[in-house]
């Protein structure tokens, strides 16, 4: 097994959280390098494109969160070996990433500009993405997004839905997912009850 070091902000969420969860579920040892937002100004000088997460694999630095997630998913047995199921897994992961890209610019906004941008997202793109994800989930049996089992696609959606529900996003109602796509909330709750997920968060004092 390669030596792995994952670098990202010190909080539960964001682009690195599905990667952390996949490694934890797979029982794969890795260095969980976390840093504060204040420290990021120095960290970004050392990473490609000034972006995180990055993964060091036997000392070689790799960028792009979805590429890293697919890699660790394969290591952890959480990525389909069937090519069509792998396509379905990737499709979901990339849709969640695309939704996050639309949300991203709002993090640099404040006041009325932030409010207007977030309300527009809540009324337009967020329902479209959530509705599409729910439709795909139900079409595939209602429990998992691909391969009839837990994959990295489920972890990606789990982290995203948890973030939308958290109340950390100003002007995004905490009941948005429940109103638009309740099956995604049920999915999130099932993933949260996975014993490996429970054990992972218990290490940080989370229930």
Residue 205 is predicted with a pLDDT of 80
d(CA 160, CA 165): 9
**Nearest alpha-carbon partner for 78 in 137, 145, 30:** 145
- Strands across the sheet containing 31-35: 31-35, 4-9, 54-57, 60-62
Residue 206 is predicted with a pLDDT of 66
Residue 39 is predicted with a pLDDT of 96
Residue 139 token pair: 């079409």
Strand segments, DSSP code E, in the chain are 4-9, 31-35, 54-57, 60-62
As a whole number of Å, the end-to-end CA separation of the chain is: 30
Q: What's the pTM value of the predicted model, to 2 decimals?
A: 0.95
Sign of the Cα pseudo-torsion (160, 161, 162, 163, in order):
positive
* pLDDT tens for each residue of the chain, 207 residues long: 899 999 999 999 999 999 999 999 999 999 999 999 999 999 999 999 999 999 999 999 999 999 999 999 999 999 999 999 999 999 999 999 999 999 999 999 999 999 999 999 999 999 999 999 999 999 999 999 999 999 999 999 999 999 999 999 999 999 999 999 999 999 999 999 999 999 999 998 865
Instruction: List the domains of the chain with CATH numbers.
Output: 4-78 (3.40.30.10), 83-193 (1.20.1050.10)
d(CA 15, CA 97): 9
Residue 151 token pair: 């994959």
A 10 A CB-CB count for 129 gives 20
Question: Which phi and psi (to 5°) does residue 62 adopt?
Answer: -125, 140
């Amino acid at each position: 097994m390669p030596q792995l070091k994952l670098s990202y902000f010190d909080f539960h969420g964001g682009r690195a959280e599905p990667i952390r969860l996949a490694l934890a579920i797979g029982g794969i040892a890795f260095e969980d390098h976390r840093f504060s937002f204040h420290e990021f100004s120095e960290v970004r000088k050392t990473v490609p494109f000034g972006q995180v997460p990055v993964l060091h694999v036997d000392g070689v630095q790799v960028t792009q969160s979805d590429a890293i997630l697919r890699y660790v998913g394969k290591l952890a047995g959480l990525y389909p070996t069937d090519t069509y199921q792998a396509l379905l897994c990737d499709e979901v992961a990339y849709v969640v990433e695309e939704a996050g890209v639309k949300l991203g610019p709002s993090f640099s906004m404040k006041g009325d500009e932030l409010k207007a941008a977030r309300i527009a997202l809540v009324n337009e793109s967020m329902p479209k993405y959530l509705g599409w994800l729910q439709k795909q989930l139900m079409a595939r049996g209602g429990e998992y997004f691909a391969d009839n089992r837990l994959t990295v696609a489920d972890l990606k959606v789990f982290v995203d839905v948890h973030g939308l529900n958290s109340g950390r996003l100003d002007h995004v109602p905490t009941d948005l997912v429940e109103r638009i796509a309740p099956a995604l909330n049920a999915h999130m709750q099932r993933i949260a009850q996975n014993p490996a997920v429970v054990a992972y968060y218990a290490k940080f004092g989370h229930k």
